[in-house]
Structure 1
Amino acid sequence: MRAFHYDHLTLALPPGHRFPQSKYQLLRERLERDPGLLRLQVAQPADTDVLALVHTPDYIDAVLHGTLSPAAQREIGFPWAPSLLRRSLFSVGATIDAARAALEEGVAASLAGGTHHAYADKGSGFCVFNDVAVAARVMQAAHHRARRAPAALAPMHGPAGLGVLVIDLDVHQGNGTASIFAEDETVFTLSLHGEKNFPFRKERSDLDVGLPDGCGDEAYLRALDDAMAEVWRRLDGRMPGLAFYLAGADPHEGDRLGRLKLTADGLLQRDRRVLEALFDRHIPVALSMAGGYGEDLSVTVDIQQRTLEAAAQAWGRWRDRQTQAGTAAGLSTTG
């Protein structure tokens, strides 16, 4: 399974800043020591023109040229610097890379990403550009172009275009993503989050499930099962051609910002249920690690490593299925 990273880029943050940027390097180094089925690749930065598929020209210009107001920088939570721009472009690029790889191989991942608090016209909550929203639009645009190509070259995703499913299981609601895709029938957004946690003014996803503080494994997994069943009911057979899964580690009981009480085993069960549901329905998935602010960052890295191991196992099943399909097609042709 391909997994894309960009932790060589760091932010110029003041001492004591609560954003745990060191976790990205720690995660990559852990995976390099025990790679398993993962193929680690340095991400490519997003071209600035693709940002306009989601974000407003004025906001893009302000980020590119460092003219964000002090208030806008406070809402994002980062001071503007050239390093912020570079890292934000790589964040979007990594998710685009993962989405493209997922469409080719079934499952892929970004070792960061999940910047779901970014709106079309502003950033918020440590999120500058909305990587999942931009990647979704890039993949939809590519699919549209492919449909106009000769039939032999066009991917098979149905006549209505590339439908997208966003499964946001970060502990914080994906308010920016919900706002961007409001009233958009081509993208279904699901957010399972702490009801009393940030953002305190929620947007409306296609399906929101707000959970009480202290929610543990049993209640969370029951809510997830019910939510996924409702997603399939509402889609009513119109299966999307691509899913984005924001696999936040911040619902964990040891997270500084989470306020829920899931165990590491509960989070692994969460991941496996999501990946199994998508595999059963032949929906490729690009994962983002999203949030994770553990009191002990090594615990957060442990959780994210297990998420990626579960994803790699799912990728192995996709590979086996594709191999079997290729074998069957070959036998049919020769027979």
Structure 2
Amino acid sequence: MIWLVLSWFILLIESMAMGYENQRPETDITVTWNILLFASIAVFLVGMVMGTVEVSWLSKLFKNKAFWKKILYKMGFYLLFMLVINLVTFPIAASIELDSTLMDAEVWQKFSNYIESPTFLSTMVSLTFSIFVSLLYSGISEHLGHNVLINFFMGKYHRAKEEFRVFMFLDMKSSTSLAEQLGHKKYFQFLSDYYNQLSNAIIQCKGEVYQYVGDEIVVTWEKSDGLQNNNCIRCFYAMKQSLLKKSTYFENTYGLTPSFRAGLHLGQVTTGEIGALKKEIFFTGDVLNVTARIQKLCKPLKQDIIVSEQLAEQLKGNGLSFESLGSTELEGRKKTEKLFAPKFTS
């Protein structure tokens, strides 16, 4: 979408500067509705391809590099890629403009003129700018969190609002002894690998990381996203599966494969932007306190995952069943809570 919007904007600026006329017909493509449609589809598809490459491969390749190095290396890769795309799409656009085939000598003469013209240089500058903006957006979004940057741009939480959300507090087992065993520097790298390995499962299940607190992760969903296809529960098992696939690496590098326990709860929160020197989206409500206390009961109740009655009542079918753990008084609260252990039977 960034590529598509920027391409329209750049085209508008160039058209205004040229008085909406093609003043270099020997090198430039005259913009018609057919050309605009072709260019828009091409830019959108190329943007989709680049986005897929970025998410599935390139971002992982440079994940340990400094921010400016990531931008620099990726820009070099994408500029080379876009140079090839530009050289492929121009003849097609020229054939559409001239209403001829790709084999027409006039098409290739125009292509030759284009390569030697200032228009080609201008196009590459525009592409460089578009690549830089999209990579900057991607980098900032990665640091702020999935969907958080979009919410800031859209002003979704500029004014505090009430909403129902699912929360999952995920705590690593035996983290204190592990930190002692590895030392602070290697333990930091261990946490980095641990968090990276969990990220895909969270995104695939439509979750958002709210906070990293030491070895604990707080994941949240809007109610509809969390309940859809039992995403909040599936996320837990998808994360376990992801760690299992990487178990050989963790065993060889750190001497063990990490494991975790989780507590989940559903409730109403007030959500809004907060902070003076640094803005962040903040959740406040009793649901967070209850979820944290449910998670702490995993160890004494000998369960890896526990959900509240409120959440269990909302989750449906698809091979999901619940084992009752009885009513328990949560720390600091007089009211007892009915707790359940979810199980997938298929």
Q: What TM-score bracket applies, with the shorter chain setting the length?
A: under 0.3
Which is strand-richer, 1 or 2? 2
* Greater relative contact order (Cα < 8 A, sep 6+): 1
Which is helix-richer, 1 or 2? 2
TM-score by length of 2: 0.22
Q: Of the two, which has the highest radius of gyration?
A: 2
